[in-house]
Amino acid sequence: MTQTLSGTRADGLAAMAAFVPAMGRRYANGRNYDHGPGRHRAVSGLSPWIRRRLLTEQEVVATALATHGPADAEKFVEEVIWRSYFKGWLERRPQVWDSYVRGRDADLAALDRDRRLRRDIERATDGQTGLDCFDAWARELVDTGYLHNHARMWFASIWIFTLGLPWRLGADFFLRHLLDGDPASNTLGWRWVAGLHTRGKPYPARADNIATYTNGRFTPRASDLAEVVAGLEATEPDGLPPLRPLRPVTAPQAGRPTALLITEEDCRIEDFDRTGLDIRGAATLAASHLRSPLAVAPAVAAFEDQALADAAARAGVAARALRADGPDTLARWATDVGATQIVTPHVPRGPLADWLAEAGPALTARGIVLAEWRRDWDAAIWPHATAGFFKVRQQIPRLLDDLVPA
């Protein structure tokens, strides 16, 4: 995994083809080992393409099943579905995303007032804490846009419990640099480590575990790491917010003058039926800068730009390049092309969904409807994402029968 990754479907397909032989037992047996930058061969590295649906979960899972069979591919399939579970869970509890944004902004404001906190955050993100493993992971993240999943958990645990830093600022650091940065997986992954997702069960970074699963690359002393005896549950005394129904989507209306919008939330626009749509124009919407009030890594923006251009080319549309800035951006563009309907693949909870909500009044004022396509994959899995992953896991055989026919 390097900064030279290209955000095209062709490159994603090539990466998948190279990993196909390892999607079975090799993945199950080796996926927890962090071998270091440039040596992450026991894991797929496909997440930057899956995150933008340059590769879809459905086709990746179908490839694993066809090659290795349900038994040997079980662990790989489960890990792909974890991403969908997290997305569905956040769709059902959007208040958790709203709380993250408010808390992150409050923590960022505190940096301006608290010189010591600012110094400690800078040391952590610059890889200057003196803890070798943590510092190496911080540098790897910034240099490559990637961290092994096990390293992400260790890093988050050390950030929260050993360094005592605000968890939302760690999540923000990840989201600004990860090429596969996803609002749901990132936010809920950090909450899981903190003991907020599965309440009362924080994830401890242990010296022996790090030494074992880095093959001795790092051998921290037990005394280097905090003993984790409790999570951060006391910061949310009311517990998890109640479940909400999935947000309904407005279906595209045939015959209505339509503007086609492509975002990094789904770059397989050709999967959707455009029959009957009176398409007057198309646009790509760059939105990676919305991930944080702080600067997002240039590599993240570059990957998004490539993905959007590639999606438009494969869809065979001449697309105007837009940027998610002022809330009237979409309304002005749709009006310019003579559209009264914008159609796009569904945008799940996260910064782009927040921006689209802010754009809503400007669209309504001009009589423009925002319509969305929701994939069958999401519609099937998300309703089960009501609690822990176990409820989704129980449904996997039936879901695969429906979604990945033999």
Q: What b-and-e string marks burial along 331-366, b requiring 16 or more CB atoms within 10 Å of the CB?
A: bebbbebebbbbbbbbbbbbbbbbbbeebeebbeee
pLDDT at 3: 46
pLDDT at 319: 97
**Cβ(337)–Cβ(331) below 8 Å:** no
pLDDT at 205: 97
pLDDT < 50 regions, the chain: 1-3
Question: What ranges do the domains of the chain cover?
Answer: 9-91+380-403, 104-235, 257-374
CATH 3.20.20.80, applies to 104-235: no
Q: Is the dihedral of CA 32, 36, 42, 44 positive or negative?
A: positive
Q: Using only the alpha carbons of the chain, give its radius of gyration.
A: 21
Q: Which helix (H) or strand (E) holds 144?
A: helix 132-144
DSSP 269: G
pLDDT at 239: 83
DSSP 42: S
**Cβ(206)–Cβ(240) below 8 Å:** no
pLDDT at 2: 42
Per residue in 152-195, pLDDT (tens digit) is 999 999 999 999 999 999 999 999 999 999 999 999 999 999 99
pLDDT at 80: 97
pLDDT at 199: 87
pTM: 0.96
What CATH number was assigned to the domain covering residues 9-91+380-403? 1.25.40
Q: Is the dihedral of CA 303, 185, 383, 63 positive or negative?
A: positive
pLDDT at 5: 83
**Cβ(37)–Cβ(140) below 8 Å:** yes
**Cβ(350)–Cβ(343) below 8 Å:** no
What CATH number was assigned to the domain covering residues 257-374? 3.40.50.620
